[in-house]
Amino acid sequence: MIVLSVFPGLAYVLLGWLHDIHLKAIIWYLGVLVVSFYGYLIHKQYRTQSLSSTQLRVWYRHLSVFYYVFSLLWLVIFLLFIAEDEYKLHYIAIFTEIGAAVVASVLLVPDKRLFKPTVIILMLPLVIYFAQIGDWYGYVLSVFACVFTWVLIYAAASSHKLLIQTNFQANHDFLTGLKNRYYFIGYLQTLITTLQRSHTWSYLLLIDLDYFKTINDSLGHDIGDHLLQEVSNRIDTQKDHDSLLARLGGDEFVVVGMEYKDKAECRKQAESMANNILKTLKESYKVDLHKLYISASIGVSLIDGKSDDASRLIKEADIAMYEAKDRGRDGVIVFDDEMQKRVEHNLELEQQLYFAVENNELTLNYQPQMDKDEKIIGVEALARWNNKKLGAISPTDFIPIAEKTGSIIEIGCFIMETAFRTLSEWEKLGVSVDQFSINVSMRQFFYYDFVKDVFALCDKYLTEETRKKVIFEVTESIIAEDVDKVVNIMEQIKSLGIRFSMDDFGTGYSSLSYLKRLPIDEIKIDRSFVSELNEETTDEVMVRSILYMAEHFNLKVVAEGVETEEQLTILRNRNCGLYQGYYYSAPLSYDDFVRFYKRQ
Ligand code: C2E
Ligand code: CA
Ligand code: CA
């Protein structure tokens, strides 16, 4: 708009000079320059500073003033030229006014409050000018000018409507009508800048419904959609008026709080808000004929001026939310320094783990399995990781991380190769066991080349005979996948002679139906049942039932974590055949196991 005024404006100065109104034209042009400069400052303020909502309101007022004054300036040049006798100047004045009105109606489309009055300010004098000619053609032109004004406003209004619609769709979630992820990210980024300047605090709540998928899958998407709408209504009624509520997608919602002067206050408000939301979400829902109950896990992250990055804040809230899920769902967790440290530690582990195989940091330990006559019947290979920087790390810590990042594929393959090599070497040394167990994690099991790798390694290290000694220990989590697929993979591997054992039995999905369907040969009673074992506990009942079931299905049973004579006696009396645990031996290094074996 400024460019369209400053340069063509010079032509009016020239015309003024030619027609002896140069002083007025120059004063007018100076006015254009001054207002343009004001406009430039407003433009710059928006570009270089991010404004809070109050500042934005003030800024908008300045902008409106700028546009009105600018339109009035074009009205002034019209009046200036029209006042002259020279009819050529009248033509120019008329065209100027029409041109200005067209420009205003096009450029100001985004703002209805601006384009309507501006177009009227510019066109009304023209209507009057034509009418006061006093002849019939003057009246006709006056009516034409009215119609033209209406057309301009109508066209601008239509474009405006379309613009608002597109803008709405880009920023809103279709199902709930809430703001969407795109809007939320922009909002958060602006908020961070505001907090940076004002040194205040705010918070972010990440709300994820518990078991929503189950409802969606079992009752259908229509019910799921209704439920999400109701959930969004309920959160909306809980949140403060000036907070933002958005749906990130699926069953994930976020609330961004207001500004607080101090951190403790902010945290208190965030927690109470989260708890209130949780409470209303847990009240029952009536959708169609169904009465539904749902809870949520809420992660909270506090925002201050130092948090420079929106995506990091979302990640923090996400970590806190998953922590809430881990602690049994239906709860609120605030992301704090301790969680931060743990995240950093895990990140460090992740990075180091990628090079563990390459740097030769992984080894295997071997824990003997004994039978009733205290004879070494088998052995379980257990991974050990010793990192230069982080020291010795337990497999309970690094195996889940390797699973998550996918490095378990490489690590698992290395473990399998090492174990196979050990088995074949021991056979030659006369250290002969009946069964050699290797843990196989879920992701490794479902890796598309797993079967191929097993075949190749068998070929390389094992004979027909030694293969029959290998047992792969899997956990009950694998049946979360399609059981047919599991059976298919197992059958292919069993064709080599390798057997399967169900590890940590009793802690997972334990169901009789899968015991019947999966081609497993052995189960391992989880350590947690064995450790509490005495004649009075319910664990005794549990162990007895497992043994009874195993007998029925013709499965071997290994009791894990046997530490005391008492546990051993109970297991023996209940007819459990194999024992593994500190009572006999902790997991041993390669050489120590050989010595242990020979001593026997
Ligand atoms: P798991 O397969 O249940 O292994 C048994 C765990 O119990 C081992 O812990 C072993 O050291 C420990 N243990 C054995 N006897 C006793 C006892 O009498 N008392 C107590 N308190 N503990 C006993 P570890 O070696 O720390 O391994 C932990 C878990 O890490 C394993 O549980 C397994 O799930 C996983 N893991 C270990 N090595 C591998 C591996 O090579 N591959 C895969 N995928 N996972 C592995
Ligand atoms: Ca195991
Ligand atoms: Ca186990």
> Is residue 368 lining ligand 1, measured as CB closer than 6 Å?
no
382 φ, ψ (degrees, to nearest 5)? -125, 130
Ligand nearest the Cα atom of residue 419? 1
DSSP characters for 63-103?
A: HHHHHHHHHHHHHHHHHHHHTSS-HHHHHHHHHHHHHHHHH
End position of a domain, from candidates 278, 303, 335: 335
> Is residue 581 lining ligand 1, measured as CB closer than 6 Å?
yes
Rama region for 391: left / alpha / beta (φ>0; ψ in -120 to 50; rest): left
Mutate to test the pocket of ligand 1, among 357, 408, 439 (most ligand atoms within 8 A of CB): 439
Question: Whose C-alpha lies nearest to ligand 1, atom 24?
Answer: 395
Residue 400 and residue 353 in contact, taking contact as beta carbons nearer than 8 Å = no
Looking at the structure, tell me whether residues 167 and 200 fall in a common domain.
no
What's the CA gap between 25 and 11, in Å, rounded? 10
The pTM of this model reads 0.68
Distances from the Cα of 11 to the Cα of 18, 155, 512, angstroms: 11, 30, 93
Which stretches within 178-220 are classed as H helix?
181-198, 212-219
Question: Whose C-alpha lies nearest to ligand 1, atom 15?
Answer: 581
- Which residues keep their CB under 5 angstroms from ion ligand 2? 439, 473, 503
Looking at the structure, tell me whether residues 18 and 153 fall in a common domain.
yes
> Residue 459 CB: number of other CB atoms within 10 A?
10
522 φ, ψ (degrees, to nearest 5)? -150, 150
> Is residue 395 lining ligand 1, measured as CB closer than 6 Å?
yes
Q: Give residue 510's pLDDT.
A: 63
> Is residue 527 lining ligand 1, measured as CB closer than 6 Å?
yes
Looking at the structure, tell me whether residues 11 and 112 fall in a common domain.
yes
Looking at the structure, tell me whether residues 319 and 365 fall in a common domain.
no
> Is residue 383 lining ligand 1, measured as CB closer than 6 Å?
yes
What's the CA gap between 531 and 543, in Å, rounded? 11
Q: Which atom of ligand 1 is nearest to the CA of 441?
A: 44
Q: Is residue 292 part of a domain?
A: yes
End position of a domain, from candidates 134, 152, 171: 171
Map residue 581 onto helix, strand or coil: coil
Q: Is residue 347 part of a domain?
A: no
Question: Whose C-alpha lies nearest to ligand 1, atom 36?
Answer: 395
Map residue 599 onto helix, strand or coil: helix
Looking at the structure, tell me whether residues 80 and 104 fall in a common domain.
yes
Angle between helices 450-461 and 483-494 (to 10 degrees): 10
Q: Starting at the edge strand that comes first in sequence, how are the strands of the sheet with 296-303 ordered?
A: 244-249, 252-256, 202-209, 296-303, 331-334
Mutate to test the pocket of ligand 1, among 527, 582, 593 (most ligand atoms within 8 A of CB): 527
Residue 244 and residue 179 in contact, taking contact as beta carbons nearer than 8 Å = yes
Element (H, E) at 387: strand 376-387
What's the CA gap between 472 and 454, in Å, rounded? 11
Looking at the structure, tell me whether residues 400 and 534 fall in a common domain.
yes
- Across-strand partners of 385? 362, 393
Q: Is residue 346 part of a domain?
A: no
For residue 473, the CA-to-ligand 3 centroid distance in Å is: 8
Map residue 566 onto helix, strand or coil: helix
For residue 503, the CA-to-ligand 2 centroid distance in Å is: 5
Query: Tokens 């390798």, residue?
Result: 498
Q: Is residue 351 part of a domain?
A: no
Domain of 377 in residue numbering reads as 357-408+427-447+469-599
Ligand nearest the Cα atom of residue 382? 1
Looking at the structure, tell me whether residues 186 and 152 fall in a common domain.
no
Give every CB contact of residue 81 below 8 A, 6+ residues apart in sequence.
15, 89, 90, 92, 93, 96
For residue 382, the CA-to-ligand 1 centroid distance in Å is: 6
> Is residue 367 lining ligand 1, measured as CB closer than 6 Å?
yes
Looking at the structure, tell me whether residues 159 and 193 fall in a common domain.
no
Q: Is residue 26 part of a domain?
A: yes
Looking at the structure, tell me whether residues 316 and 398 fall in a common domain.
no
What's the CA gap between 528 and 548, in Å, rounded? 19
Residue 550 and residue 557 in contact, taking contact as beta carbons nearer than 8 Å = yes
Residue 445 and residue 479 in contact, taking contact as beta carbons nearer than 8 Å = no
Q: Is residue 413 part of a domain?
A: no
- Across-strand partners of 179? 172, 246
Looking at the structure, tell me whether residues 304 and 324 fall in a common domain.
yes
Q: How many domains does the chain have?
A: 3
Ligand nearest the Cα atom of residue 473? 2
> Is residue 419 lining ligand 1, measured as CB closer than 6 Å?
no
Between vectors from CA 322 to CA 316 and to CA 324, what angle results, nearest 5°? 105
* Per-residue pLDDT tens digits of the chain, which is 600 residues long: 888 889 989 999 999 999 889 999 999 999 999 999 999 999 999 888 777 778 889 999 999 999 999 999 999 999 999 999 888 999 999 999 999 999 999 999 998 889 999 999 999 999 999 999 989 999 999 999 999 999 999 999 999 999 999 999 999 999 999 999 999 999 999 889 888 888 999 999 999 999 999 999 999 999 999 999 999 999 999 999 989 999 999 999 999 999 999 999 999 999 999 999 999 999 999 998 889 999 999 999 999 878 778 888 999 999 999 999 989 999 999 999 899 898 889 889 999 999 999 999 999 999 999 999 999 999 999 999 999 999 999 999 999 999 999 999 999 999 999 999 999 999 999 999 999 999 999 999 999 999 999 999 999 999 999 999 999 999 988 887 788 999 999 999 999 999 999 999 888 766 677 788 899 999 999 999 998 887 677 778 888 889 999 999 999 999 999 999 999 999 999 889 899 999 999 999 999 999 999 998
Looking at the structure, tell me whether residues 216 and 279 fall in a common domain.
yes
Ligand nearest the Cα atom of residue 380? 2
Amino acid making up residue 310: A
The domain that contains 588 carries what CATH number?
3.20.20.450
Tokens of 530: 């064995």
The domain that contains 239 carries what CATH number?
3.30.70.270
> Is residue 399 lining ligand 1, measured as CB closer than 6 Å?
yes
Q: Is residue 418 part of a domain?
A: no
Q: Which atom of ligand 1 is nearest to the CA of 382?
A: 38
Q: Which atom of ligand 1 is nearest to the CA of 419?
A: 41
For residue 501, the CA-to-ligand 3 centroid distance in Å is: 10
Q: Which atom of ligand 1 is nearest to the CA of 583?
A: 18
Start-to-end CA span in the chain (Å):
96
End position of a domain, from candidates 171, 202, 229: 171
Q: Give residue 270's pLDDT.
A: 96
Q: Is residue 350 part of a domain?
A: no
Q: Which atom of ligand 1 is nearest to the CA of 367?
A: 14
What's the CA gap between 24 and 80, in Å, rounded? 8
DSSP characters for 413-430?
A: HHHHHHHHHHHHHHHHHT
Q: Give residue 198's pLDDT.
A: 86
Ligand nearest the Cα atom of residue 364? 1
Ligand nearest the Cα atom of residue 367? 1
Rama region for 241: left / alpha / beta (φ>0; ψ in -120 to 50; rest): alpha
Q: Give residue 535's pLDDT.
A: 67
What's the CA gap between 220 and 240, in Å, rounded? 33
> Is residue 294 lining ligand 1, measured as CB closer than 6 Å?
no
Looking at the structure, tell me whether residues 158 and 218 fall in a common domain.
no
Mutate to test the pocket of ligand 1, among 357, 446, 560, 564 (most ligand atoms within 8 A of CB): 560
Q: Which atom of ligand 1 is nearest to the CA of 399?
A: 45
> Is residue 506 lining ligand 1, measured as CB closer than 6 Å?
no
